Amino acid sequence: MTSNELAVAVRGLRKRYGDVTAVDGIDLGIEKGEVFGLLGPNGAGKSTTVEILQGHRSRDAGEVTVLGSDPATGTRAWRSRVGIVWQDESAPAELTVRETVRHFARYYPRPRDPGEVISLVGLEAKADSRIKSLSGGQRRRLDVALGVIGGPELLLLDEPTTGFDPAARRQFWDLIRQLAAEGTTILLTTHYLEEAEALADRLAVVAGGRIVAEGTSAALRARFGTGATVEWTEHDGTARTERTETPTRTVAGLMRRFDGEIPGLRVSRPTLEDVYLRLTGQENTR
């Protein structure tokens, strides 16, 4: 696939801060209309990569094309096609939600309808409330509203649901799915593995400034998840656990021993979290 067919094309991306290498040769391709998840521990290089893609930070080496242009020389027209939601973004506290969204809409040549966007992020009931009165989750929804008001072709989300309660996080997921269904390309960084698995078409795991694995969630689990865990209860009530590469054979042996029904039987495969911790060298820190 050529760079013209990709929303984001990156080759050999590098960035250093003094003696620290934040990004160490990343290659990345994100298809148009795709939801792509970028995973990695703090300091892995995720936010720096997103900042470079947005044109907010310069790079030391590598080729980067976003929506057909180099972000380092992106024009105002190009910037209007890219929406971004940072971890610590915050709008003016004294304005209302409606005033803020309408104000930001004026920055774009073809903005979405402010009322539609406020409804999209679930803030209709707070449209005339001052920002300083909003909860943390409501402020993050407003941040998302400001990220999509310009009708971006590409939306960059850097840890967008940090601080959300479970209900707010699920509502945000619905919003991302709706934007994706409309054809928006989305790059998502998150520490929530369940979120990445629920939203992303493909994932890349970053460690030490490099991509160490890339693919669908199922493909990553199949490639890097080793073995399965079989749990059962013995006749005397003792709980047993066995890690095995051949769970079917293990269960068949238990069936013969228990004459059919196996008490407390549970077979589990490696989760995305298991794979992530293994790839980032944190497997034994749980």
For the stretch 94-112, pLDDT in tens is 899 999 999 999 999 999 9
Give the pairing of strands 202-207 and 210-215. Answer: antiparallel
Residue reference for tokens 């400001």: 146
Predicted local distance difference test score (pLDDT) of residue 88? 66
Predicted local distance difference test score (pLDDT) of residue 18? 93
Averaged confidence pLDDT in the chain: 89
Give the pairing of strands 154-158 and 185-189. Answer: parallel
Q: For residue 263, which of 284, 231, 285, 232 has the smallest C-alpha distance?
A: 232
Predicted local distance difference test score (pLDDT) of residue 228? 85
Query: Residue 130 carries which DSSP code?
Result: B
Per residue in 199-240, pLDDT tens? 999 999 999 999 999 999 989 988 888 778 899 999 999 999
- pTM equals 0.82
Predicted local distance difference test score (pLDDT) of residue 2? 53
Segments of the chain with pLDDT less than 50? none
Query: Can you tell me the distance from the alpha carbon of 89 to that of 188, in angstroms, rounded to the nearest whole number?
Result: 16
CB proximity list for 228: less than 8 A, separation 6 or greater: 243, 244, 245, 247, 267, 268, 269, 270
Per residue in 264-280, pLDDT tens? 999 988 888 888 888 88
Separation in Å, CA 245 to CA 156, 165, 198, 230, 267: 39, 37, 27, 10, 12
Predicted local distance difference test score (pLDDT) of residue 281? 78
Separation in Å, CA 34 to CA 31, 151, 184, 229, 236: 5, 16, 8, 33, 52
